[in-house]
Amino acid sequence: MLTGQAMAFLSLTWIIYRGLAIPRIAECGLSCSQGFTCRSHMNWNIFSNFCRQPPASMSRSVLETLTLSTAMKCAPRNGCSLLLRVHASLTLHESLRGLEACSMTLDTQEIQCQIVRVSRASRQMQVGQQLQVHFDCFEVSVAQSLYVTLRTVPHFCGVQLDQQYHVEDCRDEDMRRNVPDCFARKLSYWVDRSRKVVLVQVPEAPGGPDYYVRLCFKWFICEDAGALVQVTANSVSQTISLPYSQELPCLCLEGWSATPDAVRTQTCPFEDDTEALWDAIHYDPGSQALSWEPACPVSGHVSLCWRPGPGVHCHELEHSGRPAHGRVQYPLVDTQPQLCLKFSTSLGSWVKCPFEQQRFPAWKMAVQPASSPSHLRITFFSPSPARFQVHLCHGRKMWPPACRPALPAIPLPPASGNLTADPAVAFVDIPGDEACAPDTCIQGRRTDVHFSAPQQLCDLQCTASRRTAD
């Protein structure tokens, strides 16, 4: 058996749960304090702002309180509609005949007003007494923002209460279960990646409103990514198929009921599939510009990096870091296979090397004997004219390595004739004992571009007649 403390806890939990539910009403109506006779009617003359000065005997704080809340009016088949409940209190003065409450929707500026009048007999008998009024006939919608004004009848200048109110949205459990505008949250889906379709299960809703369902790209607003499908609500659950072309994190499923001002709900099936974003890389051979433009909003960081070999760490190039919020462009980029783009977000990092394909021209560096026996010649081969420099670096496992000042390469005259291989375009002669020292690398780099990945040769076997950096 449950102990007394456990029973008390469960009772308290149930009371709290019930207290959090939105109150139900059978019909909208009006009630006044005991002893007062009141009646209400809608006021369509909402543009009259004329006020009169209050009598000297009436306090400007005669309006005491204004309290707002939401109520539900439910029908067995049609779900629940929403009403705004207004609770007001005032001290009755002999000059007052009642009060007026107006609700304005902030997005559409639509105004509803109700006047509550106190009977002459009640006014004469209850002067100086507190009048409390409850009325709940203001129709509202999910997630609306309202501006409510309470004034006296007649309207006395400066005697007014104002309050802003936000109607609950579809995150509220009670709203999701009972308000048609929130039924879109009950849509379930699954993705058939082999057919590239999103299959949406529309729940049965006999007598309820129809639904609209679509796929869209979520930027500042959700832009169409396919046809809008209208699903007729009936007593049978339905499955609809929404095709897509690419799995992107901003490709979302959006659904809403076919009612005015319906709240749209969204879910994004591929929100963790960011891989496709990093493929949108473009290189312009004319301007030698490398650019990337995401197909979806991204929050992260992009940089150029140098990857010495497959599967090893890609070292970020200096001054290449950019925020990955939109289009990123790097001018005058070297088309080296080891020059890559690195993308970093909160979900991880990705490296893409667009020049790994053979169709991109790439230069090479080779070690050859120099005219002096004590030197080695570093020769650069390129399919097009280019300028180069060489560094001698130590600490190949460090980044950046410790390098000596650059040695500029000497250009060679253009080669003539029909060549079967890339011609030599520049060279540098360096002392052999320095180049062949332990833990030393020869690092070559283009200097006629803004961003270049180095090539390097390490731990040279100086007896070899030629060594090439691939």
Q: H-helix or E-strand containing 358?
A: none
Among the listed residues 202, 295, 182, 311, the one whose alpha carbon sits nearest the alpha carbon of residue 248: 295
Give pLDDT, residue 470. Answer: 42
In the structure, what pLDDT confidence band is assigned to residue 356 with cuts at 50, 70 and 90?
confident
Which of 11-15, 273-277, 330-334, 388-392 is predicted with the least confidence, judged by mean pLDDT?
11-15
Give the start-end residues of each E strand in 205-258: 211-218, 222-224, 229-231, 238-243, 251-257
CA distance 72 to 182: 14
CA distance 238 to 236: 6
Is the pLDDT at 12 greater than 50, yes or no? no
Q: Which residues pair with 224 in a beta bridge?
A: 216
Spell out the residues 6+ positions from residue 132 whose beta carbon is closer than 8 angstroms to its own.
32, 33, 87, 88, 89
Q: How far is CA 12 from the centre of its chain?
A: 39
In the structure, what pLDDT confidence band is assigned to residue 183 with cuts at 50, 70 and 90?
low
Give pLDDT, residue 420. Answer: 62
Is the pLDDT at 10 greater than 70, yes or no? no
In the structure, what pLDDT confidence band is assigned to residue 207 with cuts at 50, 70 and 90?
low
Return mean pLDDT, the chain: 85
Residue with tokens 């107006």: 102
Give pLDDT, residue 418. Answer: 62
Mean pLDDT on 36-51: 75
Residue with tokens 């046809």: 227
Q: CB under 8 Å, gap of 24 or more: what pairs does 207-210 form?
A: 207/77, 207/78, 207/233, 208/77, 208/78, 208/79, 208/180, 208/183, 208/233, 208/257, 209/180, 209/233, 209/257, 209/258, 209/259, 210/257, 210/258
Among the listed residues 393, 361, 388, 372, the one whose alpha carbon sits nearest the alpha carbon of residue 447: 388
Residue scoring higher pLDDT (283 or 272) = 283
Instruction: Evaluate the CA torsion angle 293, 295, 301, 304 in order and state its sign.
Output: negative
Which amino acid is present at 441? C
Is residue 295 classed exposed, middle or buried when 0-12, 13-18 and 19+ CB atoms within 10 A define those classes? middle
Percent with pLDDT over 70 in the chain: 86
Is the pLDDT at 83 greater than 80, yes or no? yes
Is the pLDDT at 269 greater than 60, yes or no? yes
Give pLDDT, residue 199. Answer: 94
In the structure, what pLDDT confidence band is assigned to residue 357 with cuts at 50, 70 and 90?
confident
Distances from the Cα of 11 to the Cα of 7, 21, 22, 174, angstroms: 6, 16, 19, 20
If you count them, how many residues does the chain have?
A: 470
Give pLDDT, residue 44. Answer: 64
Q: Which residues pair with 135 in a beta bridge?
A: 30, 86
Is the pLDDT at 7 greater than 50, yes or no? no
Give pLDDT, residue 60. Answer: 87
- Please state the φ and ψ torsions of residue 242, each to the nearest 5 degrees: -120, 110
In the structure, what pLDDT confidence band is assigned to residue 187 with cuts at 50, 70 and 90?
low
In the structure, what pLDDT confidence band is assigned to residue 325 with cuts at 50, 70 and 90?
confident
Which of 168-182, 327-341, 419-433 is predicted with the least confidence, judged by mean pLDDT?
168-182
Alpha helices in 114-265 (DSSP H): 120-125, 173-178
Mean pLDDT on 230-250: 83
Is the pLDDT at 188 greater than 60, yes or no? yes
Give pLDDT, residue 184. Answer: 54
Assign residue 128 a region: left if phi > 0, alpha if psi is -120 to 50, beta otherwise? left
Residue scoring higher pLDDT (428 or 79) = 428
In the structure, what pLDDT confidence band is assigned to residue 465 with cuts at 50, 70 and 90?
very low
**Tens of pLDDT, residues 372-396:** 988 999 999 998 889 999 999 987 6
Mean pLDDT on 24-50: 81
In the structure, what pLDDT confidence band is assigned to residue 415 with cuts at 50, 70 and 90?
confident
Tell me the pTM: 0.57
**Tens of pLDDT, residues 397-406:** 677 778 889 9
Give pLDDT, residue 45. Answer: 60
**Tens of pLDDT, residues 100-120:** 999 999 878 889 999 999 988
Domains of the chain: 24-176 (2.60.40.2160), 183-267 (2.60.40), 275-352 (2.60.40), 364-458 (2.60.40)
Give pLDDT, residue 208. Answer: 65
Give pLDDT, residue 17. Answer: 38
Residue scoring higher pLDDT (185 or 389) = 389
